[in-house]
Amino acid sequence: MLLGVEHIGVGVPDVDKALDFYGELGFTEVAFDYSGPLPGTAGVAGKDVAEARVIHLRGANPSNLGLGGLRLVQVLDRDVPPLPEGIGWGEPGISEICLYTRDYEELHKKLADKGVTILMEPNRTETTPYGLECGLSYIADPFGGKIELIEWFELEKGWQNQAGPQGVNHVAFGVTDMDASLAFYDKLGFTGMLFDSDGYFDPMEPWYVGREAPRQHMVLKANPRGGGIEPVQHDPPSPAMHGEWGHAGPMDFGVGTTNLEREVERLAAQGIEFFSEPQTISTDAGSWSYVYVKEPDGNYVCLSESRF
C-alpha cells in the first residue's frame, strides 16, 4: 500500500537551529535519529553519502489535511550545499514545504513577530476547477527554504482539529511535461485531484529575480493516507534548480509504503526504475527502509517504509 507523501527531506547546515525552528511549526516529535552512512544514494548524490545525520520529525497535532512529516538531513562528509542560486518557485527541483495550518493568519503573525523571514503576506485565492477557497502565506526557514502555510476553509469544516500547524499538506516541485508527470505519480498512488490551475500567481512575481515570472500550470494530486503532491510546469520553461542532494532547504521527499520490497516489485513490473536495491537503516528506535526512484524530471524522490 502506498501512503502518500510520508515526509519532505530538508537539508540543514545546523541541526539544533532547525529543530528549534521546526518545533515552532509543530514538529516536536523526534521519531528517528541516525548518524552514519547512507547507502543507495549514489544515483541522487553522485556517491553513497559517507556520513549524514537523519532526523525524522512528526507533528504534534497531525490532521486529515496535514498527515506528512519532515526528515532533516545534515550531510557530514562535506559542507552542506547551499540552495540553488536564483531559485524562484516551480523550476525542476523541490520548490517548497506546504504545511496545513488552521488559523494560518494567526500563526503567520506569530512567526512574523518572532522575526521569521516573511516571503508572502496572507492572501486568499479560489482554485479551479472546483471553486475551493484557500488561504496561504509564505515564510522562509533559517537556511532560505520556502515554506507555505495553507488553510482549506471548506475542507476543514466538520473536523475538530486544533488551531495551529498540523503537518505536511503537500510538496511542490517543478516538472517539464505535466501529462507525463501525472501518469508517473498516478502509479505512486496520487489519484485524487484537488485543483488544476494554469496562469500567473502575481504574489510570487518578486521571487523570480532578474527574469520575467513564468506562467505556472499547477496541479494538486492527493492520496488519502498522507500528504499530496503539487507538480508545476513553467511556460516558458525555467532552468533546473535541483541543486546537489542534501542542499539547504527542501530537497527531496518520500512516498510512504507499508511493504517496500513488495512495492518495488509491483512498480518495477509497471516500468518504474530505481537507483539501487532497497536499503535499511536500523537504530534502537526502529528501522527506516528506502529506495530512490528514477523520477521523470530528476527530482529526488524515494519510496519509504518507516517502522518507528
281: CATH: 3.10.180.10
What integer is the mean pLDDT of 133-142?
Answer: 98
Same domain, 7 and 113: no
What integer is the mean pLDDT of 178-186?
Answer: 98
- Is residue 165 assigned to a domain? yes
For residue 39, what are the domain limits?
Answer: 2-82+244-307
What integer is the mean pLDDT of 93-112?
Answer: 98
Same domain, 199 and 259: no
Q: Is the pTM of this model over 0.85?
A: yes
pLDDT tens by residue, 239-275: 999 999 999 999 999 999 999 999 999 999 999 999 9
Same domain, 183 and 269: no
Q: What is the DSSP string of the chain?
A: -EEEEEEEEEE-S-HHHHHHHHHHTT--EEEEEEEEEETT-HHHHSS-EEEEEEEEEE-SS-BTTB-BEEEEEEESSSPPPPPPTT--SSSBEEEEEEEEEETHHHHHHHHHHTTPPEEEEEEEEE-TTT--EEEEEEEE-TTS-EEEEEEETTTTTT--PPSEEEEEEEEEEEES-HHHHHHHHHHTT--EEEEEEEE--GGGGGGSTTSPPPEEEEEEEEETTEEEEEEEEEESPPPP---STT-BEEEEEEEEES-HHHHHHHHHHTT--BSSS-EEEEETTEEEEEEEE--TT---EEEEEEE-
- Is residue 169 assigned to a domain? yes
Terminus-to-terminus CA distance in the chain, angstroms?
17
Same domain, 74 and 105: no
Same domain, 102 and 182: yes
- Is residue 206 assigned to a domain? yes
Distance CA 203, CA 205 (A): 6
Same domain, 203 and 163: yes
Which of these three, 210, 235, 260, is where a domain ends?
235
Which of these three, 201, 217, 235, is where a domain ends?
235
Instruction: Indicate whether 298 pLDDT > 90.
Output: yes
Angle at 198 between CA 194 and CA 200, to 5 degrees: 120
Q: What confidence score (pLDDT) does residue 50 get?
A: 81
Quote the number of domains for the chain: 2
Q: How many CB atoms lie within 10 A of CB 173?
A: 28
Same domain, 230 and 100: yes
- Is residue 202 assigned to a domain? yes
Same domain, 201 and 101: yes
Same domain, 143 and 97: yes
Same domain, 143 and 266: no
Which of these three, 235, 252, 276, is where a domain ends?
235
pLDDT tens by residue, 53-89: 999 999 999 999 999 999 999 999 999 999 999 999 9
- Is residue 87 assigned to a domain? no
Same domain, 253 and 285: yes
- Is residue 294 assigned to a domain? yes
- Is residue 54 assigned to a domain? yes
Same domain, 102 and 220: yes
